[in-house]
């Protein structure tokens, strides 16, 4: 597929991971036309793409994937030959408060895209691909031992992960039933610049800056496998170009941390960066009511994408965390803009 003139639709490109994927594709493939489709929910922010917005091969389409007619028209007009689908409601806590919006965007929205691609490509699937970005949360939770492989059964526990699992099933079903070429990748927890401060790392960075409480759910002994967002974007690029039709790839950081250990590390690094005395930020830690249905441990076995496509993380956790903290400290306006207005309502409802 390399060096083919492509018209790629990337959905959710104004969000956290999507903006890194859009940047990578726009910069790496000047011959491709990259269409970023995003409805700009609270999580979408065009500030994330200011550095590339004037490039000739970049186009922004403000549209909602729940609007089937609009999506069909865009497929006709722009003649996309590939889709990288990241648009989603992505925050587990919000899915507990309002599951329906997750079903609408993550399942119905995905179906609208699948239908539009099927209709536009009309059985001519040469050099076409529907690449669906999923999560390790569809596999449910692990005990102390073991890793999620591509063969692990789906067993989602939150409305978010159930909606992502539903969308994965539909993508596969369209492959089996209509022959639509697809790839799915299931990735672990991402962190890095431009992540909305509702997720653990940016939320805690923001609260440390403001000397606000750090709300640790339950006993803090939950484990996540952290990956620097640019490494996820690189894996997506590889799987998109070299992955096999109907393949699933697990992507992870080989980097498990219990929340409380990660938070202590973050506090130490932030104390140094902010010129505070050691231990000052850790005093902000407060253990709060646990998340309902909280998955104990996620950990990815990424050996398939490593062996077949030669991918492995390029950034160590220490480097990535430092880059991330530096980015948030250098972009306080970005943080201030996204945490004004509606964010305060969300924050008070969730934590106060
Ligand atoms: P995000 O919440 O930061 O961004 C989601 C983007 O989708 C936003 O720009 C938003 O405006 C857009 N969007 C939401 N609803 C839409 C709709 N109806 N129509 C059009 N656009 C809409 O999410 P993220 O963390 O960047 O995650 C991106 C994808 O990667 C999601 O599919 C998520 O499930 C998956 N994923 C995320 C992680 C992670 O750690 N963040 C890990 C694995 C997989
Ligand atoms: O594993 C991939 C998933 O990672 C993605 O599919 C999701 O889109 C993404 O949001 C993320 O889900 P998590 O629920 O793991 O991420 P979150 O940052 O919300 O929480 C990480 C851990 O930190 C989790 O164990 C809950 C805990 N936590 C989170 C918040 C927001 C706290 O203790 N306190 C908090 O305030």
The domains of the chain, with CATH numbers, are 7-194+225-255+298-317 (3.40.50.720)
pLDDT of residue 340: 87
For residue 20, give the ligand nearest its CA. 1
Among 9, 10, 11, 17, say which to mutate for ligand 1: greatest number of ligand atoms within 8 Å of CB.
17
Stretches in the chain below the pLDDT threshold 70: 1-5
Q: Residue 79: how many CB atoms within 10 A of its CB?
A: 11
Q: What is the largest CA-CA distance in the chain?
A: 64
Query: How many whole angstroms separate alpha carbon 318 and alpha carbon 265?
Result: 9
How many helices (H) and strands (E) in the chain? 13, 12
pLDDT of residue 249: 98
Ligand 1 centroid – CA 164 distance (Å): 11
Q: Which amino acids are annotated catalytic?
A: 136-137, 160
Q: Residue 120: how many CB atoms within 10 A of its CB?
A: 17
Query: How many whole angstroms separate alpha carbon 31 and alpha carbon 4?
Result: 8
**What is the residue-wise DSSP string for 224-262?**
EEEEEHHHHHHHHHHHHHHPPTTEEEEE--S-EEEHHHH
In short, whether 156's Cβ falls inside 6 Å of ligand 1 is no
**What is the residue-wise DSSP string for 90-109?**
--HHHHHH-HHHHIIIIIII
Instruction: Report the Cα–Cα distance between both ends of the chain, in Å, rounded.
Output: 51
pLDDT of residue 341: 84
The Cβ-side half-sphere exposure at 203, using a 13 Å CA radius, reads 17
Q: Which helix (H) or strand (E) holds 182?
A: strand 182-187
Protein residue whose Cα sits closest to atom 19 of ligand 1: 64
| CA proximity to 190, closest of 313, 7, 96 | 313
pTM of the model: 0.98
Atom of ligand 2 nearest to the CA of 216: 33
pLDDT of residue 1: 45
pLDDT of residue 180: 98
Please list, in sequence order, all residues whose beta carbon lies within 8 angstroms of the beta carbon of residue 262, skipping any fewer than 6 positions away.
200, 201, 224, 226
In short, whether 42's Cβ falls inside 6 Å of ligand 2 is no
In short, whether 164's Cβ falls inside 6 Å of ligand 1 is yes
Place of tokens 């140094």: 272
| CA proximity to 259, closest of 207, 217, 319, 213 | 217
Q: Contact 47/21 with Cβ under 8 angstroms?
A: no
């Amino acid at each position: 597929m390399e060096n083919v003139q492509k018209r790629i639709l990337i959905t959710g490109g104004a969000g956290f991971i999507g903006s890194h994927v859009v940047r990578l594709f726009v910069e790496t493939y000047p011959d491709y036309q990259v269409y970023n489709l995003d409805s700009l929910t609270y999580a979408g922010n065009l500030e994330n793409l200011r550095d590339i917005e004037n490039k000739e091969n970049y186009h922004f389409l403000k549209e909602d994937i729940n609007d089937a007619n609009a999506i069909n028209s865009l497929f006709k007009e722009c003649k996309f030959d590939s889709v990288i689908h990241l648009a989603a409601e992505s925050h587990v806590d919000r899915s507990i408060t309002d599951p329906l919006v997750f079903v609408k965007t993550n399942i119905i929205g995905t179906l609208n895209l699948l239908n539009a691609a099927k209709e536009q490509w009309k059985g001519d699937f040469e050099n076409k691909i529907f690449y669906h970005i999923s999560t390790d949360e569809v596999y449910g939770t692990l005990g102390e031992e073991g890793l999620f492989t591509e063969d692990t059964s789906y067993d989602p526990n939150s409305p978010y992960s159930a909606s992502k699992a539903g969308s994965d099933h539909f993508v596969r079903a369209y492959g089996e039933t209509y022959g639509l070429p697809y790839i799915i990748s299931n990735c672990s927890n991402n962190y890095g610049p431009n992540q909305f401060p509702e997720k653990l790392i940016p939320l805690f960075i923001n609260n440390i800056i403001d000397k606000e409480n750090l709300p640790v759910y339950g006993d803090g002994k939950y484990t996540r496998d952290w990956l620097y967002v640019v490494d996820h974007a690189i894996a997506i690029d590889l799987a998109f170009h070299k992955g096999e039709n109907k393949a699933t790839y697990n992507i992870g950081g080989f980097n498990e941390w219990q929340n409380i250990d990660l938070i202590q590390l973050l506090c130490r690094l932030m104390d140094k960066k902010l010129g505070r005395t050691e231990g000052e930020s850790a005093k902000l830690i407060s253990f709060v009511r646990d998340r309902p249905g909280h998955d104990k441990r996620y950990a990815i076995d990424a050996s398939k994408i490593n062996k077949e496509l030669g991918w492995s993380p390029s950034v160590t956790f220490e480097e990535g965390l430092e880059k991330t903290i530096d980015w948030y400290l250098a972009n306080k306006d970005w943080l201030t803009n996204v945490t004004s207005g509606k964010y305060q309502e969300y924050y008070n409802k969730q934590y106060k």
